[in-house]
Structure 1
Amino acid sequence: MKLAIRAGRLFDGVAAEPVEHPVVLVDGGRIVAVGSGTEPPAEAEVVDLGAATLVPGFVDSHVHLVFDASTDPVSRLSDLDDDLLLDEMRARARQALAAGITTVRDLGDRGYLSLRLRDELAADPTAGPQVLAAGPPITTGRGHCWFLGGETTGGPDAVRAAVRERAARGVDVVKLMATGGELTPGTSSHLAQFAVDELAAAVDEAHRLGLPTTAHAHGATGIANAVAAGVDMIEHGTFMTADSIEPDPALIAAIAEAGIPIGATVAQKPKPGVTPPPRILKLLPLIVGLFREFRAAGIPIVCSSDFGIGPLKEPDCLPYGPTQLVTFLGDAPADALRAVTSLAADACGLGDRKGRLAAGFDADVVAVDGDPLADPAALTAVTAVFRAGVRVPLPR
């Protein structure tokens, strides 16, 4: 049975101008046609969503389904066995999908649980987003997120072995911790964890096995090492020092020249009385200035969430990100929408299937109340979600 979704307007994931009075025709979980002002075929089931705007399902390129968005997600994680943790991950996946997030890339789990969830959700598109899974991120001994189980002994051979283990498990992407991070006591975000030859070995092994790589990197040395190693994407990229942000124009130019996207984990869901950690709050104006430099250099900026790492990082926070891009970076609304749809899909290697409403793409369709091309805040007013052409029941 074909499905025809009718609405007031449509953002196709690319164009800055909407399609008025669209009809999206779906068959077998894929979009077969997008028309304007056309009548659906007689054999199609018609879903008329009135004045709503249709947008592609959102793609969150950086999530952590194992973290609970509390003030201390690491300690909370240690209290749960795998069965209980997987139950919580299922609930977070449902919460994300209800917000229109139809694809997530999990960049750090425990015990490869995100792969188990990925396979479950593939069988039931109404239960959660499509998941791309990295498994435990590759890190150094007691390095950033070591408690997830991805420690290596160091050296190119050990890092290659870690990549092979993940490939054998069936991961979709390899996550490398090029620097320390804010979540792990004993590490520092501005300090590099792996040498260039170690990261290069990981990238080479991953590419040999057909897997993309992305590197968590805050400090300039870690970023430079990741660029020299040929990673496919950089997460954060904040150019942190011990107490500030210090952009390196030559390194920014190198990132742009290599065409490496930056995953800006800026999306957060506002909560009364809750602010980012004091250190991050202090650095925020400098980070905004840095990302303006990225934009001026032509570096692709993907909007993601890093959901789970703190109270402002709920599973459904990604749709708030485009408003933050418009407010802080001065992006045009269409550019901000691309950062969570077509651009994010491209960065995840899914640009031929996700992030657009066009013939041949997966029928991941979200309806929102309002016009996000005029005001991206409309993305938070979701009225309908379809994943793989199946309508998702939304909580009342």
Structure 2
Amino acid sequence: MLLLTADLVLTGPDGDRIPDGAVLVDGSTIVAAGSRAELDRHPGAAGAQRRDFPGATILPGLINGHAHLVWDASMAMLAHYFDADDAELLLGVVGRAQRALRAGVTTLRDLGDRRGLVLRVRDAIDRGELTGPRLLGSAAPLTPPKGHCWFFGGEVDGIEAIRAQVRHNAALGADVIKVMASGGQMTPDSPPTWAAQFSRQELRVVVEEATAAGLPVAAHAHGTGSIAAAVAAGVSTIEHCSWQGEQNSGPDLRDEVAREISARGIAVCHAYPPDWRGFAEFVGEQRFAEAVQRVRWMDERGVAFLPGTDSGVPTSVFDDYAGALSYYVEAVGWTPGRVVELATAGAAAALGLDRVGRVSAGFDADLLVVDGDPSADVHALRRQRLVLTRGEPVTPA
């Protein structure tokens, strides 16, 4: 048994807080959470190892909904990826996953790798052979020939090829099926970001086949046409969701599509990087302001958000999730408490995870201890005192 105490426990939902709180852990499971006085009287507390954290907060481990562990976040990430063999990539995946964990990310969803390498690391972590966060992986995303991220190995041409690739990824053990519904920026000589890469019928087949395998679908979609098609197909999450008009004509916001996203319970992963200020300078003031306004516009229409970073692309590092979350506070204008919920209980719900994201009896002991109160100051998430993954302590970053 392990008894953790702190000035504050944030259980996950915004506003749900326990002053002078404590959490009792038995192995990989939370046994109880409550006030320090209550847990001091708990039958399991008498023989428990005790760790007190004055001036600190205990909260659920953070959840990053969008990353690419085979990429190294350098400006030459694609060249490094092409040059690396599978053994090198595996080592990189392990190292970057552990870097994320030390920064408080106890669950991470990877949305594109080569030959399911992330799934192999996931399995080694699950078996206890490696220390790492809880990993969810998609293996190779579906994309048309020479489409966005074709180099992961998920190229498909036609309905039967789509079915075969979904079945292949499911057989590898994928937790989610990723489809590149639109083009993207990282692939030379591929369709532009606003261009649709699959028809509505093809996206329906992706969802149909994934559903038969019991898997959700994450759709990379920048263009408004591809967003609308993904929504109609019934995907579970939309990545980026940039609402780009055709021929790069500027934002094409469609109220009825946004409201349908909300009605269907589809989560949007905006996937903004930790260095969002540097990114704002790179894209320019107008484009950055448009991106912020799109988030506010979707929020006003009831869209649920899943935070993620697209970690692995240039400058989007794995060990500063707090920096990415500060975007929603300092640029979008949400409260720190809402953002903490977004990255814990909210993210778990969006990903269909029922044992993480909360500090509550029966949940897995994925916990973060930080100095200060992150529900008042999001940057407190950078001040890690302790990270627990399935009850095992990890040295913070």
TM-score for the superposition, normalised by structure 2: 0.94
Note closer, same or farther for the CA distance 1:277–1:332 as it changes in structure 2 (3 Å cut). closer
**Whole-Å separation in 1 of the counterparts to 2:379 and 2:231:** 34
- Deviation of 1:219 (Å): 0.4
| Separation of aligned partners in 2, 1:269 and 1:277 | 10
Q: Distance in 1 between matches of 2:125 and 2:249?
A: 42
Give, as a single letter, the amino acid of the residue that structure 1 aligns with 2:143: T
Aligned equivalent of 2:345: 342
Query: 1:172 deviation in Å?
Result: 0.6
* Residue pair 1:126, 1:387 contacting (<8 A) in 2 also: no
- From the superposition, tell whether residues 277 and 63 of structure 1 become closer, same or farther in structure 2 (CA, over 3 Å): farther
Q: Distance in 1 between matches of 2:336 and 2:145?
A: 43
**Displacement of 1:282 after TM fit?**
4.5
Separation in structure 2 between the aligned mates of residue 210 and residue 29 of structure 1, nearest angstrom: 26
The aligned counterpart of 1:22 is 21
2:12 maps to a residue whose letter is G
Q: Deviations over 1:5-61 (max 9, x none)?
A: 111111111041421111101113011110102216112111112221111000111
Matched, 1:259 2:261: no
3-state SS in 1 of match to 2:250: coil
Task: Render the CA deviation track for 1:339-359: whole Å, top value 9, x for unaligned.
Answer: 111111111110x11111111
1:65 match? 69
Residue aligning to 1:114? 118
The letter for the 1-side match of 2:320 is C
Q: How does 1:286-305 map to 2 (within 5 A)?
A: 286-305=290-309
Deviation at 1:156, TM superposition (A): 2.1
CA–CA distance in structure 1, aligned partners of residues 163 and 320 of structure 2: 35
- Change in Cα spacing, 1:270 to 1:158, as seen in structure 2 (3 Å) is closer
Could you tell me which residue of structure 1 aligns to residue 328 of structure 2? 325
Residue 172 (structure 2) pairs with residue 169 (structure 1): yes
Match of 1:387 in 2: 389
Correspondence for 1:362 among 361, 364, 372: 364
Q: Which runs of 5+ in 2 are unaligned?
A: none
| Post-superposition CA distance 1:56-104 (Å, at most 9, x none) | 0001111100011011311110111110111111110111000000011
What do you get for the CA RMSD once the two structures are aligned?
1.7
- Distance change (3 Å), C-alpha of 1:384 and 1:372: same
Match of 1:195 in 2: 199
Written as runs of structure 1 = structure 2, the 5 A alignment for 1:1-396 is: 2-38=1-37, 39=40, 41-124=45-128, 127-153=131-157, 155-186=158-189, 187-241=191-245, 242=248, 244-269=250-275, 274-275=278-279, 278-279=282-283, 282-311=286-315, 313-350=316-353, 352-394=354-396
Partners in 2 of 1:282 and 1:79 — Cα distance?
A: 36
Cα distance in 1, alignment partners of residues 251 and 313 from structure 2: 21
Q: 1:334, 1:123 → 2: CA distance?
A: 34
Contact 1:5 1:46 in 2 (8 A): yes
Unpaired stretches in structure 1, ≥5 consecutive residues: none
CA gap of 1:372–1:29, structure 2 versus 1, over 3 A, is same
Stretch of structure 1 that moved more, 244-253 or 365-374: 244-253
Is the 2:176–2:218 Cα contact (8 Å) retained in structure 1?
Answer: yes
- Is the 2:14–2:340 contact (alpha carbons within 8 Å) kept by the matching residues of 1? no
1:148 Cα deviation (Å)? 1.0
Q: Which amino acid aligns with 2:271?
A: T
Q: Provide the TM-score with structure 1 as the length reference.
A: 0.94
> Given the superposition, is the C-alpha separation of residues 208 and 270 from structure 1 closer, same or farther in structure 2, using an over 3 Å criterion?
closer
Q: Aligned AA for 1:166? A: N
Match of 1:51, SS? strand
After superposition, the C-alpha distances for 1:320-362 in whole angstroms (9 at most, x for unaligned) are 2332111122212221111111111111110x11111111111
Are the equivalent residues in 1 in contact too, given 2:194–2:244 (CA < 8 A)? yes
| Whole-angstrom distance in 2 between the partners of 1:264 and 1:243 | 20
- SS of residue paired to 1:137: coil
SS in 2 for 1:50: strand
- Partner of 2:290, secondary structure, is helix
Aligned 8 A contact 2:274 2:324 in 1? yes
Cα-to-partner distance string for 1:151-180 (whole Å, 9 max, x where unaligned): 112x22221111101111111110010000
